Amino acid sequence: MTLTGEKADILRMLAEQRKNFLITVQGITDEQARKRTTVSELTLGGLLSHVVGNERGWMKVIADMDETAEFDMSAMAEEYVLSDGSTVAGLVEEYARVAEATEAAVAEMDLDVQVPLPTAPWAPERAWQSARFTLLHILREVSQHAGHADIIREALDGGNTTRQMAIDAGMTIG
C-alpha cells in the first residue's frame, strides 16, 4: 500500500529526521558513543537509546489505548544511557525495526483517534490527545535530539550533520 496525504507526509518527515539523527552516530565507536563532550550529561549513545525507546514507547501507548497506564519512572534512569550490553550498531538496527513497525502502524491508524496518556508525577490527571499529536511528539523528540547529538558529535571529533549530508550527496567540501 502506498500512502499519500497526511500520513505519508508525517512518515516522510519522521524518516528524514531519523536519518539526520543517525548521521550523528555514523562511524563512531561504542566508547565514543558513551563519551560526554559537553557540560551536559547527554552522550551520543544515550541519545540514540532514548530516541529508539521513545518512539517504541509512544507507539505502544497508541496501540495499547490503556486508560489505566502510568509512566514508568524506574525506566528514566536508564533511558539516556548506552548500557554496557548495548552497541551503536545494535541500536541502529533496532531503530530500523522500530521505524518499520511505526510505518506499518501509521498505515492502518486513524490519526484522529484519542489516545489516553499515561499519568505521571508531572501529569497526575489522565489526559487524551490524538494519535496525530502523538506522532508529531515523536517527530519533535527526534528533531530536538538530532540537534543535541550534532553538537555532541561536533565536540567529539568535528563531525557535522550538514557537512556529512553534503558529502553523502557528492558535494566537495572545501
pLDDT category, 41, cuts 50, 70, 90? very high
Q: Which of 106, 104, 144 lies closest to 21, judged by CA?
A: 144
Evaluate whether 69 touches 119 at the Cβ level (below 8 Å): yes
pLDDT category, 136, cuts 50, 70, 90? very high
Counted domains in the chain: 1
pLDDT tens per residue across span 81-131: 999 899 999 999 999 999 999 999 999 999 999 999 999 999 999 999 999
CATH code assigned at 31: 1.20.120.450
How confident is the model over 128-143, as a mean pLDDT?
A: 98
The pLDDT score that the predictor gives to residue 76 is 79
Rounded CA-CA distance 171/26 in Å is 18
- Establish if 137 belongs to a structural domain: yes
The pLDDT score that the predictor gives to residue 164 is 85
Q: Give the DSSP letter of residue 90.
A: H
Answering whether pTM is above 0.75, one says yes
Rounded to 5°, the CA angle 111-117-123 comes to: 140
Domain range for residue 80?
A: 5-168
